Structure 1
Amino acid sequence: MAQVLAASPGRVFTVTELARRLGHSGGAVGNACDTLVCRGEAERSGSNPRTYRATSATANAAQHTAPPPPPQGGTPQVPRQTSPQAPAAPPPNGRPLPIVRPNGQTYHPRALAQLPDVEALRRLREAQVAVLLYGPPGTGKTSLIEAAFPDLITVAGDGDTTVGDLIGEYTQDANGGYVFIYGPLVTAMQEGRALLLDDATLISPKVLAALYPAMDGRRQIQVKAHKGETITAADGFYVIAGHNPGVHGAVLTEALASRFSMQIQVGSDYDLAASLKINRTAVRIARHLATSQQAGDVGWAPQLRELIAFQKISDVLGTEAAFANLVGIAPLEDRDTVAEIVTKAIGRPVTALALGRQL
């Protein structure tokens, strides 16, 4: 990919052009281009259709790749095939490198089916296997998906999400007229991008039904509100969803579950929390509470998100305030149990963080 872009500096390529030249699917090519963009080794210059061009760093990236096949009209060659099961070469220390997410934060890959989880999700996308990630809030479901798919479009689901929020609706323009604005589902289909339904199980089943034709063999939807227009998914279009089973109102219906043929449980990586230099006592408390939660003795345990927040609070206000806040964020029904465990762990009484007397 890098060699094709570097060979024509200044030229803009569509995903379709690159796919034809390299002999790969549009989804694989789009993923590769977005990976180069994240590294600063290519530039995305358009979105409808997606187009890319070289940057000053593309030539350097091209030096480490195999020669691409010639353009159409040249000597025919059989595209070089790679085994879909062959994992990417690991770095020298045997561990995959952290991946920078769109918000600038890094994601540390975890193991999934003997692969880095990011690589596993990319392969599942290439094979068009829809994935549902489920687990408590704060365990890194969204972080993983953002790291895996740089071209991601996200829909934050809730009980008020409508069909118009997915497909689009008419909006008043500056002249007082109305224009139809496509929603994230149509945009993802037209541009061949990944679509995340975050908290999908909070969305009404009637609303989700509008999505299903795009996920099955038809890969089409009909926009009834816009003259009955038919939208066909471009190569690379992919749907992935997140589900928080413990959240009030979250219901995984049979219709929704049947659309996601792979369902992956996501829990907090407490080993990662320790490696991130988070207070070891806080990590130990979180592990204890997680074990108690699995045994049914308590309903809540701090996840990675809470532990990262713990360390930030500790750095700003001190460890005592961070432990008090850890007790305070526990659900009311579990707060006494959490306070008791924290108190035993640090050797002094801890209560929820609260304002004191006037200074």
Structure 2
Amino acid sequence: MTIRQLMSVAATVHSGQPRLAYRNQPADTWTMVTVDPVSVHYGDGGQLMRTDYDVGLDLMRALLFDTPYFDPRDSLDVEAGDDLLRARTVDVYQLPVEIADDGHLLDVKELLQLVSATSGQPMRAERAVRELDAAPTDFDANIPTPVAGVAADTAHVQVATGFDEVPMGGGRTYRPRTLFGMPDVQFLQRLRRMSGHARLSGPPGAGKTSAVLAAFGDDVLSVQGHPDLTVAALCGQYLPVPSEHGTQWQWVDGPLTRAMREGKVLLFDEINRAPKDVDDVLLPTVDQRRQLVLSDRPDLPPITAAPGFMVVATLNDLDTGIRPLSAALRRRLNIHVRVDTDYGIAAERGIDGRLLRVAQNLRTSGVDFGRQHNCDPSWYPQMADLEGAATMLEFGAQASFTALTASTDDRGRLREAAQVFASVFGEQVRPVAELGV
């Protein structure tokens, strides 16, 4: 009998050969698995070599040791291992694995291929031991529904929140994510009752707009930020209206003015694509004044926001044609939340497990790049990318990969994504699809 659980494993790669380390829970031992170099030398196809250790730090020393033959009883080996512990880190992954009755992993060859092609979370040895020491958690509830005609393969996905789905109309639903200890839609609703405002940043397709629409439904008025957006279009302007007496000019409130008058939520999508003028107009509407002066309507008194008025601005920090928000507006939109895709929710929605494995490992390497270079993470797939890739699976791996990476044009990242995709799907793909190939 076997069980499928989510557990932490550590890995390194030495001379092109990956090593995998984990805690064997029932036997309370620490295990390292790698390819036996002797079997490689004699052409046996690379037989697996498994070594058990009684102490977690011995496992880490073995994982970093120059050869796979670390001996914890040899003081010279231990001294050399300690030097490596102080100088290097290991990669830690959280993976769903098949565990046999004796506590050992069953899909080790597949896992070794995975860690040789991707990056985990870099971690120092002492912390890695604590991560591996944590008890595995049941993963059965997080196995995604297979896509028709495609064998599902779950690996390396987050655990979904478990919050109930929110209907959004048109047959669509939204699964809330955790924000400040509660569902994100619930927090946004409470923030509105407190007359607060927010900005949501993150890559395209992560669900920023969906979160706002799910939280407020018909109470949302939207405006799309773009370089040609004018203050008049945002606040209101005179527009020609046909009548029986010919064309007449009639005042029409803009979305900001309507939201203030009616006490609704203004969703300002991609606000950092709009000209800076809009920052200046928004300032008095989102501070304690909550007022808007219509410069084109000097006959009207300042508009004071009705109860329920709220501004939620979304931003994409990693695209072209964007600008920084003014410090004054950032202070007033002071609840800043980065929105990212929950791959556990993607699994519940039936996204093929192989796509989730590719996405999670690209996320790991993307976040690591940002951490190492003190910048934003490099590109990795979001929910919209995964959904597009899932619909293209019936046309083959290349079509699915093309859809998965449609939101990036970073050539280096595309090449890396192609390598990860090929390692999971077992089929080579091109960074860009070619007609006739």
Q: Which moved more, 1:193-202 or 1:219-228?
A: 219-228
Q: Residue 93 of structure 2 corresponds to which residue in structure 1?
A: none
CA distance in 1, matches of 2:407, 2:282: 36
Change (3 A) 1:96 1:338: closer
* Counterpart among 345, 348, 356 of residue 272 in structure 1: 345
| Deviation at residue 148 of structure 1 after TM alignment | 0.4
Residue 156 of structure 1 contacts residue 197 of structure 1 at CA under 8 Å; is this kept in 2? yes
Q: Residue 303 of structure 2 corresponds to which residue in structure 1?
A: 231
Q: Residue 4 of structure 1 corresponds to which residue in structure 2?
A: none
1:139 aligns with 2:206: yes
Q: Residue 250 of structure 1 corresponds to which residue in structure 2?
A: 323
DSSP 3-state at the match of 1:124: helix
1:228-252 CA distance string (max 9 Å, x none): 4221211111111111111222313
Change (3 A) 1:285 1:209: same
DSSP 3-state at the match of 2:308: coil
**Higher relative contact order structure (alpha carbons within 8 Å, sequence separation ≥ 6):** 2
TM-score (norm 2): 0.57
| Deviation at residue 269 of structure 1 after TM alignment | 0.6
Paired residue type of 1:176: T
Change (3 A) 1:181 1:119: same
Residue 314 of structure 1 contacts residue 321 of structure 1 at CA under 8 Å; is this kept in 2? yes
CA distance in 1, matches of 2:425, 2:162: 34
Q: Residue 400 of structure 2 corresponds to which residue in structure 1?
A: 322
Q: 5+ unaligned residues in a row in structure 1: which ranges?
A: 1-93
Q: Residue 220 of structure 2 corresponds to which residue in structure 1?
A: 152
1:134-171 CA distance string (max 9 Å, x none): 11111111000000011100111122111011101111
| Deviation at residue 102 of structure 1 after TM alignment | 4.2
Residue 279 of structure 2 contacts residue 325 of structure 2 at CA under 8 Å; is this kept in 1? no
Paired residue type of 1:264: V
Larger Rg computed on CA atoms: 2
1:96 aligns with 2:153: no
Q: RMSD value over aligned CA atoms?
A: 1.9
Change (3 A) 1:165 1:326: same
CA distance in 2, matches of 1:329, 1:218: 40
Residue 201 of structure 2 contacts residue 316 of structure 2 at CA under 8 Å; is this kept in 1? yes
DSSP 3-state at the match of 1:341: helix
**Within-5 A mapping of 1:1-359:** 95-150=162-217, 151-174=219-242, 175-229=246-300, 230-248=302-320, 249-296=322-369, 299-315=378-394, 317-327=395-405, 330-333=408-411, 334-351=413-430, 352-356=432-436
CA distance in 2, matches of 1:327, 1:165: 34
| Deviation at residue 337 of structure 1 after TM alignment | 1.6
Residue 279 of structure 2 contacts residue 326 of structure 2 at CA under 8 Å; is this kept in 1? no
CA distance in 1, matches of 2:296, 2:407: 44
CA distance in 1, matches of 2:213, 2:405: 30
| Deviation at residue 318 of structure 1 after TM alignment | 4.2
Paired residue type of 1:108: R
Q: Give 4+ residue runs of structure 1 displaced > 4 Å after superposition.
A: none
CA distance in 2, matches of 1:157, 1:329: 19
Paired residue type of 2:260: M
| Deviation at residue 104 of structure 1 after TM alignment | 3.7
Change (3 A) 1:232 1:198: same
Q: Residue 36 of structure 1 corresponds to which residue in structure 2?
A: none
Residue 122 of structure 1 contacts residue 149 of structure 1 at CA under 8 Å; is this kept in 2? yes
Q: Residue 55 of structure 1 corresponds to which residue in structure 2?
A: none
Paired residue type of 1:188: A
Return the structure number with greater strand share: 2
CA distance in 2, matches of 1:233, 1:208: 17
CA distance in 2, matches of 1:205, 1:329: 26
Paired residue type of 1:346: F
| Deviation at residue 332 of structure 1 after TM alignment | 4.0
CA distance in 2, matches of 1:169, 1:208: 18
Paired residue type of 2:276: P
Paired residue type of 1:250: R
| Deviation at residue 299 of structure 1 after TM alignment | 2.7
| Deviation at residue 208 of structure 1 after TM alignment | 2.1
Paired residue type of 1:165: A
Identity %: 33
Residue 397 of structure 2 contacts residue 425 of structure 2 at CA under 8 Å; is this kept in 1? no
